[in-house]
Structure 1
Amino acid sequence: MEYFIGTLLTTIFIYISLINLICLKFDKKELLAVILLTQLIGLPFYIKLRFLSIIPINIIAMIFLYKKYRNVIISIIVPLASTLISVLGDYILSYIKIYVLKINPDPGYLGSYMYTVSVVSDFLIIFMISKLIGRLINRKVKIFSIDFKIKFGFLIVMSFLLTLIIFYANIILGNDNGFSNEVIELNGLLFFVYFTLLMSIMYILVMIITKELKIKNRQSQFESLQEYTIKLEALYMDMRTFRHDYINILSSMGGYIESKDIDGLSVFFNNNIMPLSKGIESNNFRIGLLKNIKLPEVKGIMSSKIISAQELGIDVFIDIMEPIEKINMDIIDLCRSLGILIDNAIEAALNCRQPSLKIAFINKNNSVLISIINSYSEDLPPIYKIFQKGFSTKGENRGLGLSNLKKIIENHNNVILDTFIEDDEFIQNIEISLT
């Protein structure tokens, strides 16, 4: 029973720290199944040598995170950091017992009052440390959205792994030779300083990578706005040309009217006026409707995608009747989501004889609804399949867009994605609550 409880507590402490570090919600049944599996595999290691139980616990946690988020570096770092936090929490508790409460750091026998207090205290310390670190790291960007370069990722993983080996080698040696209060105090101080330094370096790296990501995003938005501006300038020149010529066009019609040549007027109208009206109603002029989007980042990505669709010969319809001044979603995640949805809509529409793309922004009472509608071919795969990672009708090494979109949506509790087919159109609605 003692071994079972020991393995279970070690697993729970590490997973509590892990959950707080990544600041993401897990399915309770899925998490419970992983913990039970960890308990089953980790128990024999704990019986042999209790410190060895962290090996299967960490490996299972790494596999679990990788299967869920597909980020190798973060999937390795987070369990190692969680284990280090658990070790640090245990030493902090021992230090408090010895130098603040002046009591024996031994938690006592299983089931005793002191054992229960020690477990609860350990849990609270680990929870608070991991929660604080998690909030600091995830304050500006979700940790699983960080893309470490290979060399940086390797250095961080090796630093965490080496730190963990040093910590546990020290603990095992001390356990064999007996811990004195002085040794516990010295180890606790060294562990705390080393851990703080390691977390500080990790935090600085995350901030640097986040800053680089924002700079790249701003550059992309700037390029999109430049493209939007160029298109508007071309539209303005077209309007000036038309304004300059329309009096002459009307005057040319006057001759037919005076001579009452209705047949000639009809031919002239069909051959000259109708093509001109179609040009005025073309997609190039519809982009002006983006004026109602008051968010420059969103306007930039929308204009860029719409211009691309127009150049590919897709009939684009835009419906933004009211000013869109606020959308309650991280702007980078919002732009990524719109980019993925419109790119997929364009790709699907191109397979049709009459490709079309419709985009609408609608203000509702407590939310903003963004609807992206496209024509599609008859061989469209089932909707449940298109959100699976790696699924694509275009071959290998594709199909990441919609699976990434699903992850983005899952990170926002106020965002709902609804996908369905209606009247021979593929419709994707994103509704973003204002609260």
Structure 2
Amino acid sequence: MDILMIFIEMMLVVLLYNTLFNKSNNKNLFRYSAVIAICSILFYNFKSINGILIYLILLLFEIFAIAFIDKKDNNLVLIEIVICVVVTFILQNISVTIVYLITRKTKELVFLHMGLFVVSIVSIMIFSKSYIKKKSLDFEDDIRDNLLISNIFLNIFMFFMILKVIYDSGKFSNLIVIEIILLIFINIFLNISFYRTLHKNILKDKSIEVKNAYNPLLDDIIENIRANEHEYKNHMNMLYSIIFVAKDIPELKERASKYLGELDHKNILNSILEIESTIVKSILYSKLVECEQFGIKLNYSINSNIEDSCLDDSEITIILSNLLNNAIEATKNSDKKEINIKIYKYERILIEVSNNIEPEKISNFDVEDFFKKGFSSKGKGRGYGLYNVRKIVKKYKGDIRIKVEGENLAIVLSI
């Protein structure tokens, strides 16, 4: 019976890991079960030597085995399993505390503790599965990008190991153990509060860093726009002068029309000067110049001022630059070179970028993978642009939709 309870406890940790970080992928459940069965038998046979030491050794074995099965980084799986272990420890201690407060007993009611624990874990898994699917969450991305979360959970894990040593020793009264549990919960709360404050400061520093990196580029583009805007006005004044002088002289009127045609063809500032947002105007100017080099037609419709949204200047720059960079990369070698960008408001700010694609290239990839970290069809070391876009959209609880219709790919952001 003891070995079965050990197996159930260990297996619930892995099932929680599979729900939170593998999106309930069931293809490896049998392999997980085999690993847990081996660990359970080994722990049962050798726990008398040193329960905590054997537990830690087998936990590391379990982590490396699961990382191998899932073909994931060992350190990432380590953090994910530790988080799940911490969650199970918290639930176990809550069940022990509840039972003690009601019955004034702990170790005598092991099966009741286990029953409450199993019910709580299963409830969390059911809720998490539906919530993750509904919100399109990816906890693995959050863990991968936040080293502070990793440090906090590793510290909490060590606190629970200490508690387990105290509890298993039997040298302390139930009341003292309960007091230690409460102190650990207070420590967890303080850790999380500290993390939230520190995380906000880090995000603020990153935002300032990005702004400092982009501002010189934007300032240069804005200055270029202003210079070209002045030049454009000079051209228009010249045109008006020609038309005014021409009066009834057909040759001068013809010359004015020709001049206007050349001006429309060469000057890419004809309509972006009326765009309200300086940031959008600057980015579009730089991308129009780039598109002209590749013979790409860039159409734009800006019906809302994106600067009125929750996004700051650096985030607007990251989103628009990466979406347009991706569209240009996909379009420059296609037969029909055309990109469309729309910014409009319908409850929330909507940004839509569509472009032509080569179907045979896109068929090798799942479009949902576009926003995953490191994904790129252009080789290693690429694929972080759209991932950064996704992080910003996720930050503001926005939405990303990807549509593929024939030879056209559209990405729509709602922020």
Q: Shorter-chain TM-score: which interval? A: 0.5 to 0.7
Report the equivalent of 1:283. Answer: 268
* Letter paired with 1:358: N
> Which of 153, 164, 178 is the equivalent residue of 1:185?
178
The reply to whether residue 416 of structure 1 matches residue 401 of structure 2 is yes
Name the residue aligned to 1:384: 364
Q: Counterpart in 2 of 1:93?
A: 95
Distance 1:307 1:107, change over 3 A: farther
User: Cα offset for 1:286?
Assistant: 3.5
Query: Can you give the 5+ residue segments of structure 1 that lack an aligned partner in the other structure?
Result: 132-140
1:322 to 275, 286, 303: 303
Q: Distance between the aligned counterparts of 1:228 and 1:142, measured in 2?
A: 38
Q: Greater shift after overlay, 380-389 or 243-252?
A: 380-389
Distance 1:365 1:166 in 2: 47
In the alignment, structure 1 residue 144 sits paired with structure 2 residue 141: yes
Query: What is the aligned counterpart of 2:229 among 223, 236, 246?
Result: 236
Return the offset for 1:89: 3.2
CA distance in 2, matches of 1:106, 1:301: 69
Matches within 5 A, 1:21-420: 27-28=23-24, 30=25, 32-34=26-28, 36-49=30-43, 51=55, 54-56=59-61, 58-59=63-64, 67=72, 76-98=78-100, 100-106=101-107, 108=109, 110=111, 115-117=114-116, 119-120=118-119, 144=141, 153=147, 160-161=153-154, 164-165=157-158, 167-168=160-161, 171-172=164-165, 174-175=167-168, 180-182=173-175, 184-185=177-178, 187-219=180-212, 222=215, 226=219, 229-250=222-243, 253-254=246-247, 257-258=248-249, 268=255, 272-279=259-266, 282-288=267-273, 290-291=275-276, 299=280, 302-303=283-284, 306-307=287-288, 309=290, 312=293, 314-320=295-301, 322-323=303-304, 336-351=318-333, 356-361=338-343, 368=350, 370-374=352-356, 381-385=361-365, 394-401=378-385, 414-420=399-405
Q: Distance in 2 between matches of 1:379 and 1:430?
A: 16
| Cα distance change, pair 414–383 in 1 and its aligned pair in 2 (3 A) | same
Deviations 1:322-365 (A, max 9, x none): 33669999778876454333112223444469855332346679
8 A Cα contact 2:341 2:352, kept in partner: yes
One-letter code of the match for 1:84? V
Describe the shift of the 1:340–1:384 C-alpha distance in structure 2 as closer, same or farther (beyond 3 A). Answer: farther
Q: 1:266 to 1:309 in 2, by over 3 A?
A: same
CA-CA distance at 1:307 after TM superposition: 4.9
**Equivalent AA in structure 2 for residue 384 of structure 1:** N
**Matched residues in 2 for 1:27 and 1:326: separation?**
36
In 2, Cα distance between equivalents of 1:122 and 1:341:
41
**Maintained 8 Å contact 1:361/1:370:** yes
Q: CA deviation at 1:250?
A: 2.3
Q: Amino acid of the residue matched to residue 42 of structure 1?
A: I
Provide the TM-score with structure 1 as the length reference.
0.65
Once residues 288 and 386 of structure 1 are traced to their aligned partners in structure 2, the CA distance between those partners, rounded to angstroms, is: 38
Q: Distance in 1 between matches of 2:348 and 2:154?
A: 48
Distance 2:71 2:322 in 1: 22
Instruction: Give the superposition deviation at 1:381.
Output: 2.0
* Alpha-carbon distance, 1:36 to partner: 4.8
Q: Find the residue that maps to 1:373 and give its secondary structure.
A: strand
Residue matched to 2:51: none
1:213 counterpart SS class = helix
TM-score (normalizing by structure 2): 0.68
Report how far residue 41 of structure 1 moved: 0.9
Percent identical among aligned pairs is 16
How far off is 1:121 after superposition?
A: 5.8
RMSD: 5.1
Q: Which deviations, in whole Å up to 9, do the C-alpha atoms of 1:227-283 show, x marking residues without a partner? A: 5643542343134313432243225545xx55xxx6x5598458645423433xx32
SS in 2 for 1:49: helix
Residues 404 and 325 of structure 1, relative CA distance in 2, 3 Å threshold: closer
Partner Cα distance (2:69, 2:195) in 1? 22
Report the count of equivalent residues: 390
CA displacement 1:134-163 (0-9 Å, x = unmatched) = xxxxxxx988357769xxx4x875775465
Paired with 2:311 and 2:252, the residues of 1 have a C-alpha distance of 57
- Output the CA distance in 1 between the equivalents of 2:70 and 2:308: 30
Q: For 1:417, give the aligned amino acid.
A: I
Where does structure 2 lack aligned partners over 5 or more consecutive residues?
A: 45-54, 129-137
Aligned partner of residue 270 in structure 2, secondary structure: helix
- Kindly tell me: are residues 314 and 75 of structure 1, through their superposed partners in 2, closer, same or farther at Cα, counting changes over 3 Å? farther
1:225, distance to aligned residue in structure 2 (A): 5.5
Measure the CA separation in 1 of the matches of 2:198 and 2:140: 12
Maintained 8 Å contact 1:81/1:160: yes
SS where residue 40 of structure 1 aligns? helix
Cα distance in structure 2, aligned partners of 1:399 and 1:148: 15
Note if contact 2:323-2:353 (Cα within 8 Å) is conserved in structure 1: no
C-alpha distance in 2, partners of 1:285/1:351?
Answer: 27
Is the contact made by 1:13 and 1:86 (CA closer than 8 Å) also made in structure 2?
yes
